[in-house]
Amino acid sequence: MLPWDGARGEESLENAADRIARDALGVAPAWLEQVGAFGNARRHPAETDLSIAYVGLVPVDAPEPGGGEEAWFALSDLPVLPPRHKQVIDAAFELTRSRLDYVPIAFRLLPPTFTLSDLQSIYEIILGRRLHKASFRRALHAAWLVEPTDEWRTEQRGRPAQLFRFAPRRRRANRRGVRFELLAG
Amino acid sequence: MLPWDGARGEESLENAADRIARDALGVAPAWLEQVGAFGNARRHPAETDLSIAYVGLVPVDAPEPGGGEEAWFALSDLPVLPPRHKQVIDAAFELTRSRLDYVPIAFRLLPPTFTLSDLQSIYEIILGRRLHKASFRRALHAAWLVEPTDEWRTEQRGRPAQLFRFAPRRRRANRRGVRFELLAG
DNA sequence: TGACATTAGTACCATAGCGTTACTAATTCG
DNA sequence: CGAATTAGTAACGCTATGGTACTAATGTCA
């Protein structure tokens, strides 16, 4: 099952989700957003059967959940879950991918300074596909989202990588045409 | 206020939203999707204060709501509303725009056959901005979403327009790179 | 020590998409 | 019959994209 708890009257939905996530993780999620409300009507009318789902992300170096019975599972290797929980996970993953270009999710999963390869890895993990290196950097440069520092990090192998920091600058919104991503089927 | 009703235990959220919309409109909405759950904690813990909001669309030639106290308002000329209702409307409009390229919303607002100018008008209304005619048709042609009929419609003035029907064909998903639409501020 | 693997970063290029402008086509209005 | 109006297309330049290839700088290992 997914971590959950009943609502407390004195807190907002957002605060309740944050509290539940912190209880399960030990740390506050770097990003948290509502997925939606899920309910079916197969219960007795007197019983309320409604779930408000939230999705959050934590960096890969976040501590393992220690106290309770929580455990991590890869999205590609999920155990059998109750149908609604599986439905929530699918919607949460889709929401996360769709938010990636509009909310600074990736930068909150990284330390204050990071390499562009680190950043690209976060994008590739969330999107679930490889990205082209030159195109990624071109788009990043055009977006004025990062600025270089004068530090370089030496990894285990290969050429050292320059460190960048998240420093978005104002720019005008990109008014593109229509894309027709709708697919048949 | 927005049209609303309490949930009935024996129906799903989606069905309840559809019922409420039909009661208010007189017709079923051509598209309906959940916006999300809205709740604040300023009430007494014993009172549940939670709204599950849905957004729907109906064609412009839909009948006026007759029976009750409902009325239509332009998004650009809304009356003063309770804060949560205004919040719901903003989220609903944003959701609709973001779904336009992925869900065949526009085609459900049109009759079975329509002109490309009609279709473009729907897109312009929902997106709230003008679109370029040649680019719109190029993208539409590349997406294989419509096919021409052998009928032409004579409007009041100008050259007759060919009628098209919605007939999506299978094509592979467009795997583009990252866009970085995130704006500073 | 020197060849090789590895990672970072950039340059070049062909192609595709986009928006502007302009043009043709077909109809109604006066 | 000419002007206005709407539909539809062609041409062109600019930008974005993604592939390939290249250089740069380090560690590994014989």
A184 and B177 within 8 Å at the Cβ level: the answer is: no
Strand D positions closer than 7 A to protein CB: 4-11, 16-21, 24-28
Q: Write the DSSP assignment of B126-179 as a string of letters.
A: HHTS---HHHHHHHHHHHT-EEEEEEEE--SSSS-EEEEEE-------------
The shortest CB-CB distance from A180 to any of B139, B179, B182 is to: B139
Q: Which residue of A45, A139, A173 is in closest CB contact with B9?
A: A45
Q: Compare all CA atoms of chain A with the CA of B119 and give the residue at the minimum distance.
A: A178
SS3 B105: helix
Residues of chain A contacting residue B168, judged by C-beta atoms under 8 Å apart: 182-185
Instruction: Work out the minimum CA distance from A73 to partner chain B, whole angstroms.
Output: 26
The tens digit of pLDDT for each residue in A67-111 reads: 667 888 989 899 999 989 999 999 999 999 999 988 999 999 999
* pLDDT tens digits in sequence order for chain B, 185 residues long: 899 998 777 788 999 999 999 998 889 999 999 999 998 765 555 456 789 999 999 998 766 766 667 888 989 899 999 989 999 999 999 999 999 988 999 999 999 999 999 999 999 999 988 999 999 999 999 899 999 999 998 877 889 999 999 999 877 677 777 877 766 54
How many Cβ atoms from other residues are within 10 Å of residue A65's Cβ? 16
Interface touch B37/A52, C-beta < 8 Å: yes
A135 Cβ contacts chain D strand, under 7 Å: yes
